């Protein structure tokens, strides 16, 4: 996958945002395919646009505060904002601060967030990006709690997914929407839970639980009524086989704010 925008898009983007051609052509690690302006798309690793409806996100989020965990270049943050939400998006600002398995950690460092800033400017968005790890996302650091916490394909990349879920539970007074990769192999064990250790993989992935274990982890972290909403295979844009994904919803014990949005 090329990390660069298509060459023919550069002049159009330059006119749209007044940016320097060299800056626009600089490598950007586009994780999601999304449309920047009419006819100009990013070369993402995943194009989730055909799958958005399968996440069970309420269409009307007007007046609700939403926290997105691991925004990368903002695909989900901007979608949640489009539905009316006041969105705060968390992500790490430096490459070396990601939760790498030691042998996979690159020797060089780098600044993250260029893609997010470009899309935000093009969309004239009000999404607030906060450059911290979910491990550090406490009420004291963030300053408020949220009606909805959204987390997509982040926990498999964390050494301590339970700590991350605990942080989310403490910041959520409404609903959790979680989407993660799951182990189909472990799902075939009748009544069993468990997780595959994936720290030796080249994908910066630590764990791959099965669906039952994801539900248990969400409940242990403090959420109520965890339930599976959907599952699907998220395809790579390269044409390779996709990632088996499960969508889970859960409620904070004091929830109820979403009744009017169902």
Q: Where does the pLDDT of residue 99 fall: very low under 50, low under 70, confident under 90, or very high at 90 and above?
A: very high
pLDDT in tens, 48-94: 999 999 999 999 999 999 999 999 999 999 999 999 999 999 999 98
DSSP-H helix ranges across 145-224 = 161-171, 184-187, 211-220
* Neighbouring C-alpha atoms within 13 Å toward the C-beta of 173: 7
Q: Are 1 and 28 in contact (CB under 8 A)?
A: no
CA distance 125 to 240: 33
Structural domains for the chain: 46-254 (3.40.50.150)
- Spatial neighbors of 72 by CB under 8 A, at least 6 apart, are 31, 32, 91, 115, 116
- Residue 95 has a CB neighbour count (10 Å cut-off) of 15
CA distance 62 to 45: 30
Per-residue tokens: 56: 């069970």
DSSP class of residue 32?
B
pLDDT at 207 over 50: yes
């Amino acid at each position: 996958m090329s990390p660069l925008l298509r060459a023919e898009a550069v002049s159009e983007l330059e006119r749209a945002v007044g940016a320097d051609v060299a800056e626009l052509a600089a490598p950007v690690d586009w994780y999601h395919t999304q449309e920047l302006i009419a006819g100009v798309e990013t070369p993402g690793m995943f194009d989730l646009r055909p799958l958005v409806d399968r996440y069970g996100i309420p269409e009307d989020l007007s007046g609700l505060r939403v926290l997105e965990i691991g925004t990368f270049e903002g695909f989900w943050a901007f979608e949640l904002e489009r539905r009316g939400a006041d969105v705060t998006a968390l992500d790490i600002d430096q490459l070396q601060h990601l939760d790498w398995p030691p042998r996979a950690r690159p020797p060089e460092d780098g600044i993250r967030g260029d893609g997010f800033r470009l899309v935000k400017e093009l969309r004239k968005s009000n999404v607030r990006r906060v450059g911290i790890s979910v491990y550090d996302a406490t009420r004291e650091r963030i300053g408020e709690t949220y009606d909805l916490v959204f987390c997509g394909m982040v926990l498999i990349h964390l050494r301590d997914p339970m700590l991350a879920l605990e942080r989310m539970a403490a910041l959520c007074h409404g609903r959790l929407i979680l989407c993660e990769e799951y182990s189909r192999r472990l799902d075939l064990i009748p009544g069993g839970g468990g997780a595959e250790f994936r720290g030796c993989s080249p994908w910066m992935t630590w764990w791959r639980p099965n669906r039952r274990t994801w539900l248990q982890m969400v409940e242990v972290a403090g959420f109520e009524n965890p339930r599976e909403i959907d599952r699907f295979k998220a395809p790579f844009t390269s044409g390779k086989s996709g990632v088996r994904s499960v969508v889970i919803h859960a409620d904070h014990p004091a929830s109820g704010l979403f009744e009017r949005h169902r």
